[in-house]
Chains A and B, each alone.
Chain A
Amino acid sequence: MIEHRDDLASKMGMWLFIFTELLLFGMLFVVYAVYRSMHPEAFKLASEELDVVLGTFNTVILLISSMTVAMSITSIQKGNKKLAMTLLIITLVIAVVFLVNKYFEWGSKFEYGFNPGGEELLQLGHGTILFFGLYFVMTGIHAIHILIGVGLFIYVLLQLRKDKIHQTDYIWLENTGLYWHLVDLIWIFLFPLLYLIH
C-alpha cells in the first residue's frame, strides 16, 4: 500500500498551533505587564512570597527535559529505538516531578490562605490580589500543558514500542518535542516575571 504522508505539512500545522499558544500566553503577559506597571511595589512584595529555590529547581529540570526529548529525536533518527524510549521516559518522569513540585508549592500557598479568594489574601491590597490571581492562572494553565505533555509522551512511547514510530516516520515524536519545547519556552518567561521580581 502506498503511504500518504507529508511530514513538512504536519510540522507546519504544529507550528501554527504553537502560534495560537504563544498568543494565549502572550495576552496573559500583557495583562501582567499592565497590572505590574500599575502596582509595582505590591508585585515586588508579593513575588517575594514565592519560593525561588523551588522555582529555580523546576526551571532547571524543565530545561533538562527539553534536552532529553530533543536527544530522543536524535536517537530515533539514528535508529536507536531503545535509547529514544529511555530518553522519553526520563522526560516523562521530569514532567511528573515538575507537577509534584507545583502541587507542594500551591499547597503551601493554600495553607497560608493565599489561594484565590483566600481569607489572608483578601485582606491585602489590590496589587497583591492581582499578583496572586495572575500567578495561579498562569502557572495553572502552564501546569495543564505539562499534564497534556505527559499524555502525549505516554502515547508516543506506546507507538514507539509498537514500531508505529520508527527511523523513517517519527513526525509524532518530533511534534511532541516541539510541543514540549513550547511548554519550556513559556516557563522561561514565567519564571523571572513571577519569581525574580527585584
Chain B
Amino acid sequence: MSQETTHIVSYKTQIFVLLALLVLTAISVAITRIEMGPFNTAAALLIASIKASIVLAWFMHLKFESRFFTVMVAAVFILFLLVILVTFFDYSYR
C-alpha cells in the first residue's frame, strides 16, 4: 500500500511542547500550597486535562492525523465521563 504523506513534527516544536508541559507541572505543584477548598481538586484536574490534551495533540500526533482518530478518542472520553456521571448518581441517591 502506498504511504500517505506524513507530517514531520520538528525538534523545536517538541521542545516547546515539553516546556509547556513542565510549566503546567510546576503550576500544578505550586497551587497545592494555596488554600482554595474544593477548587484545588478542580484546578488539579483542569491542569492535568490540559496536559493530557497537549500530549494527545502533539506527541501522539492527533493534530496531524485524520479527524477519524480525534473523533474516536473524544468518543472514549465521553464514554468515560458518562460512567463517572452514572456512578455518582448511583452513590448520591442510595
Interface residues of A in 23-40 (CB under 8 A from B): 23, 26-27, 30, 33-34, 37
For the complex formed, measure the closest distance between the CB of B26 and the CB atoms of chain A, giving whole angstroms.
9
CA distance A8 to B6 in the complex (A): 11
For the complex formed, measure the closest distance between the CB of B35 and the CB atoms of chain A, giving whole angstroms.
7
Known: A30-B83, A198-B32. A67 touches B55 (CB 8 A): no
Please give me the residue from chain A that is nearest to B33 by CB atom.
A198
Beta-carbon contact of A5 and B76 below 8 Å: no
Please give me the residue from chain B that is nearest to A67 by CB atom.
B18
Known: A188-B55, A192-B44, A192-B47. A67 touches B76 (CB 8 A): no
List chain B residues, Cβ under 8 A from A67.
14-15, 17-18, 59
Known: A6-B1, A30-B87. A63 touches B18 (CB 8 A): yes
Q: How many residues of B contact A (CB 8 A)?
A: 45
Q: Does A196 contact B (CB under 8 A)?
A: yes
Beta-carbon contact of B83 and A66 below 8 Å: no
Q: Mark B31-46, 1 if CB is under 8 A from A, else 0.
A: 0100110001100110
Q: Does A77 contact B (CB under 8 A)?
A: yes
Q: Mark A120-135, 1 if CB is under 8 A from B, else 0.
A: 0000000000000000
Q: Mark A172-198, 1 if CB is under 8 A from B, else 0.
A: 000001100100110011011100111
Contact-residue bracket for chain A: 35 or more
CA distance A6 to B2 in the complex (A): 8
Partner-contacting stretch, out of A52-60, A88-96, A104-112: A52-60
CA distance A64 to B84 in the complex (A): 31
CA distance A7 to B79 in the complex (A): 27
Beta-carbon contact of A74 and B4 below 8 Å: no
Q: Does A155 contact B (CB under 8 A)?
A: no
Please give me the residue from chain A that is nearest to B25 by CB atom.
A59
Please give me the residue from chain A that is nearest to B10 by CB atom.
A74
On A, residues with C-beta under 8 Å from B are 4-8, 11-12, 15, 19, 22-23, 26-27, 30, 33-34, 37, 52, 56, 59-60, 63-64, 66-67, 70-71, 73-74, 77-78, 168, 177-178, 181, 184-185, 188-189, 191-193, 196-198
Question: Would you mind naming 7 contact pairs between A and B with Cβ atoms under 8 Å apart?
Answer: A7-B3, A11-B65, A27-B83, A67-B59, A70-B59, A184-B59, A188-B51
